[in-house]
């Protein structure tokens, strides 16, 4: 017969205390405030916000909204660089607020502004209408009459190598940071932009797709692919490693006859 021994009551070791949480430091968060419906000029409002070394810019903005001024307009959703909602200019450079830690900015003053080259809705929230409409113009879907869903047709087989040709570009979360950093977008309101061009390549490079000629015709316009001069700013700011500059040059290779 098995015997069960009841363990003696353990004494809780109370001697060494767990290391205390580091004290938060305080930074100055400068938020650009503008309300176009009131026809007001943009101005900066400053807030003192406590931060830890892991605090993100989005968290500081949400702290302001919660504790200091609830009227700050900001768009956000997933808080993990997946939805592409919280793009803004942070200390002069387009970044995702949820993906940028205060500690990596190495400054006690953090300035947040709405992304350039997008219409301002209010404060930090911008209008994505142009980005979405150019994205749609690039026909962001597989064009193939022998669709997989037709009865009696076979599935499309893709090797890992086939997948690798476009996978990177399909990680685009449409955050708009690339369009905000692009020097051509700074002055050319008709330019397709790096986001749209990269997506045109994403589908063109997919071996299931038969819409290459259609897409090349769309981008071969006076405000299309040729207005990219490979300044690389789009790839410099992309938070997902999409590398739009590479996609654009590869797409242009088709038009120059370097690629088939």
Partner 1 sequence: MAERLSNREGIRGMINPTRYGILRVAYWLQRLSGLGLLAYLIGHIYETSTILNGKTAWANMLSLTETPGGHIVLVIVIGMCVFHTGNGIRVMISEGGKGVGKPGQPEYPYRASSLNSKQRLCIWVSIALAALAMMYGAGVLFGN
Partner 2 sequence: MRESIIMKIHYGTALAAVALVAVHILMRMSQKFSDSLSYQNVLANYHFLPYALMLEVILVLLSVHGFNGLRVILLELKQGATYEKAINYGSLAAMAVLIAYGSRTILMAGMGTS
The residues binding partner 1 (CB under 8 A) are 36, 39, 92-93, 114-120, 126, 164-169, 171, 181, 183-187, 189, 205, 229-233, 235-243, 245-247, 249-253, 256, 258-259
Residue 105 CB, shortest distance to partner 1, in Å, is 14
Nearer to partner 2, 33 or 227 (CB): 227
CA gap 84, 194 in Å, rounded: 15
CB 178 within 8 A of CB 84: no
Q: How far apart are the first and last CA of the chain?
A: 80
Choose the stretch contacting partner 2; rule: CB under 8 A; options: 70-78, 86-94, 221-229, 238-246. Answer: 221-229
Kindly tell me the sign of the dihedral angle through the C-alpha atoms of 185, 132, 247, 139. negative
243: enclosing H helix or E strand: none
226 binding partner 2? (CB under 8 A) = yes
Contacts with partner 2, 130-169, as mask; x by CB under 8 A:
----------------------------------------
- From the list partner 2, partner 1, none, partner contacted by residue 102 (C-beta under 5 to 8 A by kind): none
Nearer to partner 2, 136 or 217 (CB): 217
To the nearest 10 degrees (0 to 180), the angle between helices 129-137 and 194-204 is 30
CB 28 within 8 A of CB 47: yes
């Amino acid at each position: 017969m098995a015997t069960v021994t009841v363990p003696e009551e353990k004494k809780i070791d109370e001697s060494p205390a767990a290391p205390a949480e580091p004290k938060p430091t305080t930074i100055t968060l400068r938020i650009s405030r503008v309300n176009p419906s009131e026809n007001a000029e943009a101005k900066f409002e400053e807030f003192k916000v406590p931060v830890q070394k892991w605090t993100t810019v989005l968290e500081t903005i949400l702290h302001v909204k919660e504790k200091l001024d609830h009227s700050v307009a900001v768009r956000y959703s997933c808080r993990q660089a997946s939805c592409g909602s919280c793009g803004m200019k942070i200390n002069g450079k387009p970044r995702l607020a949820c993906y940028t830690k205060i500690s990596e900015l190495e400054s006690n003053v953090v300035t947040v502004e709405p992304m350039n080259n997008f219409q301002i809705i209010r404060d930090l929230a911008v209008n994505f209408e142009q980005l979405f409409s150019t994205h749609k113009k690039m026909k962001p879907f597989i064009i193939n009459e022998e669709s997989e869903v037709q009865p009696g047709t076979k599935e499309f087989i893709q090797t890992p190598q086939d997948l690798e040709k476009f996978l990177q570009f399909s990680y685009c979360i449409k955050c708009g940071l690339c369009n905000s950093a692009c020097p051509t977008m700074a002055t050319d309101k008709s330019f397709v932009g790096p986001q749209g061009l990269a997506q045109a390549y994403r589908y063109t490079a997919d071996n299931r797709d038969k819409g290459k000629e259609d897409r090349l015709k769309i981008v071969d316009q006076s405000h299309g692919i040729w207005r990219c001069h490979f300044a690389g700013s789009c790839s410099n700011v992309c938070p997902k490693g999409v590398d739009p500059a590479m996609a654009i040059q590869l797409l242009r290779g088709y038009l120059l006859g370097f690629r088939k």
